A = this chain, B = another copy of it.
Amino acid sequence: MTNNDEYMTVVIKEKPQKGLKVSKKVIPQSIGKDEVLVKVLATSVCGTDFHVYNWDEWSQNRIKPPITMGHEFAGRVIKVGENVNRIKLNDIVSAETHIVCDECEFCRSGKGHICQNTKIIGVDTDGSFAEYVKIPAKNCLINDPDVDPRFLAIQEPLGNAVHTILHFDVIGKTVAIVGCGPIGLLAVNVAKAVGAGKIIAIEINEYRRNLAKELGADVVINPLKEDVVGRVLEETNNIGIDVVGEFSGNKMAIEQAFKYVKLGGKMSFLGIPNGKVEIDLTNDVVFKGITMYGVTGRIMYETWHQVKGLIKHLDLDKVITHTLKLEEVDKAMEIMASGNSGKIALIP
């Protein structure tokens, strides 16, 4: 790298208050033996970034400014630590954003996604809203270099959607997607790509309902206008839904889901409600004989392999509704706030 390259544009959380700042930082010069340095080709905005932008309660407890934001990205490897063999110079990589300990019981039995000592890129370490990002080599996934880097960047949230939807068998089944934010939208598309029998998407925002339909939803329901439980039962011969993917974190939506899930049905929970949810264990869980699963992150790295195999079956060009320059991060946050978007990509 020449002297001209010494500084890079980054988006940082500078102070403990609302907002993000476009700034300059020195490009990392030294990398650890087990690390790589990646030139970011595309990064994308996660709900987490939006929480940090808004400096909500969670952010205040977790984030220690100043820190470079962002964790969904794809880029080209331009430096490789001395112990690194698997990753080569110029590989186009994405990254699992959970940096796990490899030593706890969970890491040592194929369950790194629930590692007790996880650090998260862009939350606990400097992230990818930057021209360059330094990450552990082990977190890298090598991509097909011919795929649009924006599609590669959103593999991380796509992994959440895949983990949620494919935890239970949905092939030929009825599937409800509750909440069509960006990950819910990806989930609709995944359910479609794997041959779900009928996909019912439930979402209050019209823009997102329309997008859900384009991405494969057979039925879309506006819970502000329709009796959700009644409509879902009507669409399923009064027998209810085989598999529910919960992405909303909305208590009322969750309560409804327990009512329209089928006897013996399955529910995956990714959305995170504020506070406790009242559940009728007796009638909705025990007597119904259902199974519920809490989704954290992506199975390492099985989910990533699924994502890699599925990506060509998906309509990621439709999921990414906006592509902006990294410097336009404020505009991205405004669009997020409006709810009228799928994924938003940023190009450094």
Contact = CB atoms under 8 A, between A and B. Distances in A.
A285 B264 contact: no
Interface string A272-285: 11111111111011
Given A276-B280, A294-B281, A309-B173, A103 B85 contact: yes
Interface of A: 85-86, 102-103, 105-106, 108-111, 113-114, 116, 138, 166, 171-174, 193-198, 239, 249, 254, 263-264, 269-282, 284-296, 300-302, 305-310, 313
A115 to B, nearest CB: 9
List the 10 closest pairs (A to B, CB-CB), nearest first: A172-B309, A110-B110, A197-B309, A285-B294, A172-B306, A276-B278, A272-B282, A286-B294, A292-B292, A289-B296
A274 B277 CA distance: 16
Contacts of A300: 108-109
A169 to B, nearest CB: 8
A116 B197 contact: no
A277 B281 contact: yes
A270 B235 CA distance: 30
Contact of A277 (B106, B108, B278): B278
Given A195-B195, A239-B105, A309-B172, A288 B281 contact: no
A166 B193 CA distance: 15
A110 B302 contact: yes
A116 B263 contact: yes
Contacts of A197: 308-310
A62 to B, nearest CB: 13
7 contacts: A111-B263, A114-B263, A171-B171, A172-B307, A197-B309, A270-B286, A278-B279
A309 B196 contact: yes
Contacts of A116: 263
